[in-house]
């Protein structure tokens, strides 16, 4: 199957210069908002199964492949590109040339890259040796919010477009098209200029292209969810600023 998809790095939402400036201006205060969210991924991919011939009858079947965090890590561990990167760049004592058992993914909302880490402190940006990112459209965000004027406590829901891309450079690709991302925020009361914030996300890109072991297929369902919290100076930002901030300032 010949893919008509553009190179993955060209699929990201464009970033106007004023957003780039805002990101750089907050670079020294990243802990002011939930930046790294624990990420859980669940997807199903349909690919052709073995074709058999019985006399003049040719039978072709489809099979469904379930994908989750565990299988994604297994794909990464089988990728020569990832193995080489870990061997040559990671010196943590807990690993050799593969991602250790018990590792999990986190999504960096600032860079949009997906990282892998574990309790031993081993961590690296998967979007460096291969491709693994979740892009969101920070320039077209709609939502609703209810916030107390005096304390700043309240809640908010933001909705925007999201794009997921995974390619282990070893025959496995997940490339669901642009879909919906829902970001639910809870804000604590501001105290001494500091505010506690929590966020939960649900991302639902649409069905599109996939490959499993080099065989082209289609993603039929795809969901990613995550959560995070932090305490930092108020007002805070992420997405990069919450919708209400843009709407009221």
Tell me: the pLDDT tens digits for 118-163?
A: 887 778 889 989 999 998 887 778 888 888 888 888 888 889 889 9
Q: How many other CB atoms are there within 10 angstroms of residue 55's CB atom?
A: 5
Interior CA angle at 242 toward 138 and 237, to 5°? Answer: 95
CA dist 129 and 201 (Å) reads: 26
Produce one character per residue of 174-198: b if its CB has 16 or more CB atoms within 10 Å, e if not: bbbebbebbbebebbebeeeebbbe
CA dist 219 and 222 (Å) reads: 7
Tally of CA atoms within 13 A in the half-sphere of 105 that contains its CB? 26
- CB-CB contact of 233 with 194 (8 Å): yes
Tokens linked to 157: 């829901």
Tally of CA atoms within 13 A in the half-sphere of 85 that contains its CB? 19
- CB-CB contact of 234 with 193 (8 Å): yes
Q: What is the pLDDT of residue 232?
A: 58
Q: What is the pLDDT of residue 37?
A: 85
Residue that has been written with the tokens 């998967």 in this structure: 126
Average model confidence (pLDDT) for the chain?
Answer: 77
Q: So where are the chain's domains?
A: 32-49+59-248
- CB-CB contact of 180 with 204 (8 Å): yes
Neighbour-count burial of 216, counting CB atoms closer than 10 A to its CB (0-12 exposed, 13-18 middle, 19+ buried): middle
Q: What is the pLDDT of residue 199?
A: 86
CA dist 181 and 161 (Å) reads: 6
**Residue 193 DSSP SS3:** coil
Report cis status (omega within 30 of 0) of the bond before 235: yes
- CB-CB contact of 230 with 35 (8 Å): yes
Q: What is the pLDDT of residue 93?
A: 55
Kindly report, residue by residue over 154-190, the tens digit of the pLDDT. 888 889 889 999 999 999 999 998 899 998 988 888 8
- % of the chain residues with pLDDT over 90: 30
> Whole-prediction pTM value?
0.78
Averaging pLDDT over each range in 60-74, 178-192, 194-208, 234-248, which range is the top one? 60-74
- CB-CB contact of 63 with 50 (8 Å): no
pLDDT tier, 7 (very low <50, low <70, confident <90, very high otherwise): very low
Q: What is the pLDDT of residue 56?
A: 67
**Could you tell me which of 6, 7, 16, 10 has the C-alpha nearest to residue 135?**
10
Q: What is the pLDDT of residue 216?
A: 92
CA dist 97 and 144 (Å) reads: 46
């Amino acid at each position: 199957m010949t893919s008509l998809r553009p190179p993955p790095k060209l699929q990201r939402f464009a970033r106007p210069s004023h957003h780039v400036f805002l990101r750089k201006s907050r670079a020294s205060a990243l802990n002011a908002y939930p930046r790294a969210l624990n990420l859980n991924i669940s997807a199903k991919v349909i690919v052709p199964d073995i074709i058999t011939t019985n006399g003049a009858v040719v039978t072709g079947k489809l099979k469904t492949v379930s994908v989750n965090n565990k299988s994604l890590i297994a794909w990464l561990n089988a990728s020569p590109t990832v193995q080489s990167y870990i061997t040559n760049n990671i010196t943590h004592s807990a690993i050799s040339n593969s991602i250790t058992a018990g590792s999990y993914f986190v999504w960096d909302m600032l860079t949009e890259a997906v990282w892998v880490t574990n309790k031993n402190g081993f961590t690296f940006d998967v979007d460096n040796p291969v491709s693994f990112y979740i892009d969101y459209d920070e320039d077209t965000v709609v939502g609703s919010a209810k916030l107390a004027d005096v304390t700043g406590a309240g809640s908010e829901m933001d909705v925007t477009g999201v794009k997921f891309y995974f390619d282990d450079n070893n025959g496995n690709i997940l490339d669901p098209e642009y879909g919906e991302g829902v970001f639910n925020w809870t804000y604590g009361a501001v105290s001494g200029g500091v505010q506690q914030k929590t966020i939960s996300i649900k991302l639902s890109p649409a069905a599109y292209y996939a490959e499993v072991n080099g065989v082209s297929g289609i993603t039929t369902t795809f969901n990613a969810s995550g959560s995070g919290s932090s305490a930092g100076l108020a007002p805070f930002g992420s997405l990069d600023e919450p919708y209400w901030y843009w709407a009221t300032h």
